[in-house]
Amino acid sequence: MSVAHRIAEQFETREQQREADSLGTWVFLATELMFFGPLFLAYFYGRTHYGEGFAVASGRTHVWLGTANTALLLTSSLTMALAVRASWIGRRGVTLLLALTAALGVAFLAVKGIEYRKEWDEALVPPFRFVFAGEHARAVEVFYWLYFLITGLHALHLTIGIGLVLWLALRARRGDFGPHYHAPVEMTGLYWHFVDVLWIFLYPLIYLLERWR
Amino acid sequence: MNPAPVRTYVLVWAALIALLALTAASAFVNLGAFNSVANLAIAAAKALLVAAFFMHLRRHASALVRVFAGAALFMLALLFALSGADYATRHIAPAAWSSPPSPTP
């Protein structure tokens, strides 16, 4: 048994150690929610005060790219959860599942990049390149400010997640994880799913406002 | 650790994709204010599925961990309720001097 496989001296049992790991990670995720929360509140304010303008702005987003991206991220959560499961019971395939998760994350970022490119071409990027004629120009500008701030922050989180998952894949290939030691995989999994949940809420808020018009 | 079978994970994923299709399709039908309600309800359902099964809050988390997860949501609700109450009840009165004077050449 290597050092990593032993229980840290402050814990009585392996279960207690896992409990502390989980609790610490959830506290971190709670602070992350406080970090993103005010941005959602800003959106809520805009949507309730300039509803019409936000709907017009949402109509200019690329709904099918956004939908495809949501499917990619949901699928990456499946592969991540299966990677955690495999590491729990010491099955092989952890490396492959982690690599797949990272690949799906990279695919998400690539699609997001295509979207940003399109928005740049359509001059919807305040304050650098924003041209919008019409009565809701100010509200549309506020929407796109929030859009780039929130999706950019989300993409940054995803990039960190991809880095962590790739690092775990390398360690899994070395055979670091098994039934007795898998905390890094499990805790990174929690973070990955949290980033997925953020996107689950961002998707309808960004892309689906009054699409029927 | 005795995890759920792979089948469970795949079924949860299938449910997530089905809910994604439902929310995307419903957005193209005019339901009035119910469009927003449906979108947010479906997003909450998806988040609940991810938290319960993928983040293991359902079977492999202690009551304490669940309380902490709930506390995060409670703090977010406080943020929305208290700040929102202010914004919802405050009348925005544009000042008479809101447009800045243009500089004289």
**The complex's ipTM?**
0.93
pLDDT higher than threshold 80 for residue A5: no
pLDDT at A7: 85
The residue to which tokens 């092989």 are assigned: A92
Write down the mean pLDDT value for chain B: 90
Nearest-by-CA chain B residue for A64: B24
d(CA B54, CA A49): 36
Residue numbers in A near B37 (CB within 8 A): none
**Using CA atoms, how far apart are residues A101 and A99, in angstroms rounded to an integer?**
5
Q: Which residue of B has its CA nearest to A86?
A: B3
**Chain B residues closer than 8 Å to A203 by CB:** 20, 23, 43
Most confident of A109-113, A178-182, B96-100: A109-113
Span A86-113, pLDDT tens digits: 999 988 899 999 999 999 999 999 999 9
Cα three-residue angle A182-A187-A191, rounded to 5 degrees: 150
Query: Could you tell me which residues come within 8 angstroms of residue A192 by beta carbon, excluding any fewer than 6 positions away?
Result: A76, A77, A80, A101, A161, A165
Percent of chain A's residues with pLDDT above 70: 98
Contacts with B, A 110-169, CB within 8 Å: none
**pLDDT over 70 at A1, yes or no:** no
Q: What is the pLDDT of residue B8?
A: 96
Q: What is the pLDDT of residue A158?
A: 98
**In whole angstroms, what is the distance from residue B78 CA to residue A54 CA?**
24
pLDDT at A15 over 80: yes
pLDDT given at position B60: 86
Q: Is it the case that residue A185 has pLDDT exceeding 60?
A: yes
Higher-confidence residue of B88 and B73: namely B73
Task: Flag if A204 and B68 touch (Cβ within 8 Å).
Answer: no
Model pTM score: 0.92
What would the pLDDT profile of A32-48 be if each residue is shown by its tens digit?
A: 999 999 999 999 999 99
Q: Mind listing the pLDDT tens digit for each residue in A112-148? A: 999 999 999 999 999 899 999 988 999 999 999 999 9
Asked if residue A13 lies in contact with residue A7, where contact means CB atoms within 8 angstroms, the answer is yes
The pLDDT value recorded for residue A90 is 86
How high is the pLDDT of residue A36?
96
Q: Which residues pair with A130 in a beta bridge?
A: A124
Q: What's the 3-state SS for A132-169?
A: CCCCCHHHHHHHHHHHHHHHHHHHHHHHHHHHHHHHHH
For residue B95, pLDDT beyond 70: no
pLDDT of residue A104: 98
**CB within 8 Å: B55 and A189:** yes
Q: Give the integer Cα–Cα distance in Å for A169 and A167.
A: 5
pLDDT, tens digit, 9 for 90 and up, residues A64-92: 999 999 999 999 999 999 999 999 998 88
On chain A, the residues whose CB falls within 8 A of the CB of B72 are 26, 29-30, 33-34
CA distances to A94, B73, B81, B82 from B85, rounded to whole Å, are: 48, 18, 6, 5
Note the pLDDT of residue B101.
62
Chain B window 58-77: which residues touch A at a Cβ cutoff of 8 Å? 61-62, 64-65, 68-69, 71-73, 75-76
Residues in chain A with CB shorter than 8 Å from the CB of B54 are 77-78, 80-81, 189, 193, 196
Burial of A74 (0-12, 13-18, 19+ CB in 10 A): buried
Distance of CA A208 to the CA centre of its chain: 19
Contact A75 B54 (CB under 8 A): no
Contact by Cβ (8 Å): A185, A70: no
Is pLDDT at A3 greater than 60 in this prediction?
no
Model pLDDT for residues B29-52, shown as the tens digit of each residue: 999 989 999 999 999 999 999 999
